[in-house]
Amino acid sequence: MRLRRLLAGLLSLLLVCSLLSVSALAAPAGQEITILFTHDLHSHFLPQPDGEGGESGGYARLKTAIDAEKAAHPDALLVDGGDFSIGSLFQTLYTTQAAELRTMGQLGYDAVTLGNHEFDHGGTGLASMLMAAASCGETVPAIVEANYRPASDNPNQLDIQRSMAAYGVSDTMLLERGGVTFGIFGIMGEDSDDCAPTSGFTLTDRKENAQRCVDSLKEEGAQFIICLSHSGTSEKKKSSEDERLAEAVDGIDLIVSGHTHTTLEEPIVVEDTYIVSSGPYCENLGSVTFRWDGAAKTLGDYHLVPIDETLAEDPGILQTIENWKHQVSSDYLGRYGLSFDQVLTTSGYDLTTPESGVQEENSLGELVADAELWAAANLDPEPPDVTTVAVTADGVLRAPLYRGEITTSDAFDVLSMGVGADGTSGFPLVAVYLTGKELKAAMEVDASITPIMPAAQLYFSGVSYRFNTHRMFFNRVFEARLCEAPFVNGFTATGLADIDEDATYRVVADMYIGQMLGTVKGKSFGLLSLEPKMADGTPVQDLADCILRDQSGNEIKAWYALATYLASFGEQGVSGWYGAPDGRKDVSHSWNPIELVLRPNWISLVALAVIVVVILLLVLLIRRLTGGRGRRRYGGSQRRHYGGQVRRRGFRR
């Protein structure tokens, strides 16, 4: 009996020990898991003025913050949610040097996903960048991307796939850290795909692929699942792609959400999934810590570390950045006769980007439009003798110009988007021709489309116009005239001339705006007719044929137009007429009835006719109903008179 009891006790002890050891292997009780994260860095290697006397961002300071967080959490992961490129002069090394990924490798990133701006150079540009990174011999972060593939009809499909394979791009990855196995995958959002029309890639179903990744990672032993999503969140639930993803997919522990440039002071929690965002442009380093027992997790800590002037700059990253700056100056800026930190002029005031959705004048937008008009007259070796107007849009203004010295780098940051036909960074200027009627339609885009699409707000040079926000949609502009360019002597109300609707005018814009002008008719359901034309009046078939070039045959980039215009101010600094609104775009919110019906177009007349018809029908209907009740009451009375007595039919005592 004693022997049997002893054996039973030993067996019980062994069973308990084995269970404890298995539990310990799964995850120690109360273990902490920390993930550091960023997104939408947009090549912001250097600190930027914050408009309040301080600075924000910069990779040398980011490295200091990362090191401090890792000192407190040695097993922390570092990940990024995409759009790590395009936004500063450093992006000009994207296809040849892969400066962004290589620097992120030095910063210690474990994994990143791709955003829409990684495709600004097209699929072939991405391929070139991946090959440059793969062959550099340095440590670079893993790239995960599960639902974005080279399109089957992409003529460069095989080359792109080879470059992705050479780098090691995969749907998912496993990463063991501190005794925990993490499963990580990447997702491209629907709006992100819409923002990458030249990617040459095909978006596949987000939810199906996310669930596939979660299931496969768990089968491979992943204990904690992280989704790096370039989809974003929004206050409007139907537009909040990552919230909808969390609702539809079971098993995601954490979503690092990029694309919408959101800063979340607290995580969004959807069932058991946490969604986090740290804001764009290296403004913050996000840190989230969970307490985890291997089955359930609870939020232990969440905070954003501001990357500002209070942080020291890491010497090693500083040296890397200086090396990149020299390479930018030699490889890209040399053809323009400029250098990275060259001072172009000064400003005594801030020129800030437009406030989203607010319809009003903006000095930075008007400065850019004036610069493009100036460049068309001064950099084009053979400008035609025709009235020219320039236009730019809210959506291409990517950075402000703060008071003080303005450098080449600052000018580039304002207009950093796009790639030219020459394959180099920066949208080139194009010149197309519109009739006066179409030119007015472009102003109507600004007046009518901006409330529903803020990035479409336009800023013109060479015209003055007025519109009322309460007027009929697509008929809000009630006055439009030509005016002298402000760089002559500042905008003035004198010298205005009427726009001849049948005449032809030359319109200068960057290539992105040129493409947008060509889509106006379709997007307005044909209510606004606008078709960019060549000088001979034939429709534009390829905007590349409309690119403006300098005497050497180089594309006149939009940022270069701004840089040279700023340099024209010299030591005197940016002219004071940009310090305040000048009245060239007069936005009225008046309910003055005369202003509301002044100069109606056919859209307003048709709408007015419909309103009149509806009112008449309502009046007739009311009269018919009212008249019917009267006849029943008096012509069909229930009373009969008999010899002075009144008898009611059907009445009984």
pLDDT of 598: 80
Q: Are residues 147 and 264 in the same domain?
A: yes
CA 283 to CA 308: how far, in whole Å?
A: 8
pLDDT of 489: 55
Write the DSSP assignment of 132-151 as a string of letters: HHHTS-S---EEB-SSEEE-
Decide: helix, strand or coil at residue 336. Answer: helix
Looking at the predicted structure, is the pLDDT value of residue 21 above 70?
Answer: no
Q: Are residues 151 and 86 in the same domain?
A: yes
* Max mean pLDDT range (1-5, 399-403, 634-638): 399-403
Determine, yes or no, domain membership for 326. Answer: no
pLDDT of 186: 98
Determine, yes or no, domain membership for 320. Answer: no
Determine, yes or no, domain membership for 319. Answer: no
Residue 223 is given by DSSP the state S
Determine, yes or no, domain membership for 500. Answer: yes
pLDDT of 632: 43
Q: Are residues 38 and 141 in the same domain?
A: yes
Q: Give the CATH number, domain containing residue 118.
A: 3.60.21.10
pLDDT of 490: 60
Decide: helix, strand or coil at residue 403. Answer: coil
Residue 466 is given by DSSP the state E
When pLDDT is averaged across residues 561-578 and rounded to a whole number, the result is 94
Q: Residue 297: enclosing H or E segment and its boundaries?
A: strand 297-306
Looking at the predicted structure, is the pLDDT value of residue 273 above 80?
Answer: yes
Determine, yes or no, domain membership for 22. Answer: no
Looking at the predicted structure, is the pLDDT value of residue 617 above 90?
Answer: no
pLDDT of 631: 45
Q: Are residues 166 and 123 in the same domain?
A: yes
Are residues 203 and 190 in contact, defined by beta-carbon separation less than 8 angstroms? yes
pLDDT of 339: 96
pLDDT of 295: 75
Q: Are residues 609 and 521 in the same domain?
A: no
Determine, yes or no, domain membership for 24. Answer: no
Q: Are residues 300 and 353 in the same domain?
A: no
When pLDDT is averaged across residues 459-468 and rounded to a whole number, the result is 94
Looking at the predicted structure, is the pLDDT value of residue 420 above 50?
Answer: yes
- State the residue range of the domain holding 604: 600-631
- Six-digit token string for 525: 């359901």
| pTM for the predicted model, two decimal places | 0.85
In tens, the pLDDT along 159-184 reads 999 999 999 999 999 999 999 999 99
- Of the pLDDT bands very low, low, confident and very high (cuts 50, 70, 90), residue 17 is very low
- Six-digit token string for 468: 């009322």
Least confident of 223-227, 376-380, 411-415, 454-458: 454-458
Looking at the predicted structure, is the pLDDT value of residue 23 above 70?
Answer: no
pLDDT of 491: 57
Determine, yes or no, domain membership for 321. Answer: no
Looking at the predicted structure, is the pLDDT value of residue 629 above 60?
Answer: no
Determine, yes or no, domain membership for 37. Answer: yes
pLDDT of 492: 57
- Six-digit token string for 599: 């100069």
In tens, the pLDDT along 37-80 reads 999 999 999 999 988 889 999 999 999 999 999 999 999 999 99
Closest CA to 296 of 524, 580, 33: 33
Q: Are residues 417 and 534 in the same domain?
A: yes
CA 350 to CA 55: how far, in whole Å?
A: 15
Residues 6 or more apart whose CB falls under 8 angstroms from that of 167 comprise 130, 131, 133, 134, 140, 143
Least confident of 95-104, 183-192, 236-245, 622-631: 622-631
| Amino acid identity at 135 | S
Q: Are residues 394 and 250 in the same domain?
A: no
Q: Are residues 608 and 571 in the same domain?
A: no
Looking at the predicted structure, is the pLDDT value of residue 153 above 90?
Answer: yes
- Of the pLDDT bands very low, low, confident and very high (cuts 50, 70, 90), residue 625 is confident
Are residues 494 and 461 in contact, defined by beta-carbon separation less than 8 angstroms? no
Residue 407 is given by DSSP the state E
Looking at the predicted structure, is the pLDDT value of residue 27 above 70?
Answer: no
Alpha-carbon torsion (404, 409, 415, 416), positive or negative:
negative
Q: Are residues 353 and 244 in the same domain?
A: no
Q: Are residues 388 and 246 in the same domain?
A: no
Number of domains in the chain: 3
- Last residue of a domain, which of 284, 306, 328? 306
- Six-digit token string for 626: 């009212």
- Of the pLDDT bands very low, low, confident and very high (cuts 50, 70, 90), residue 603 is low
Q: Residue 158: enclosing H or E segment and its boundaries?
A: helix 157-167
pLDDT of 602: 62
Least confident of 15-19, 223-227, 453-457: 15-19
CA 463 to CA 388: how far, in whole Å?
A: 10
Q: Are residues 580 and 613 in the same domain?
A: no
Q: Give the CATH number, domain containing residue 558.
A: 3.90.780.10
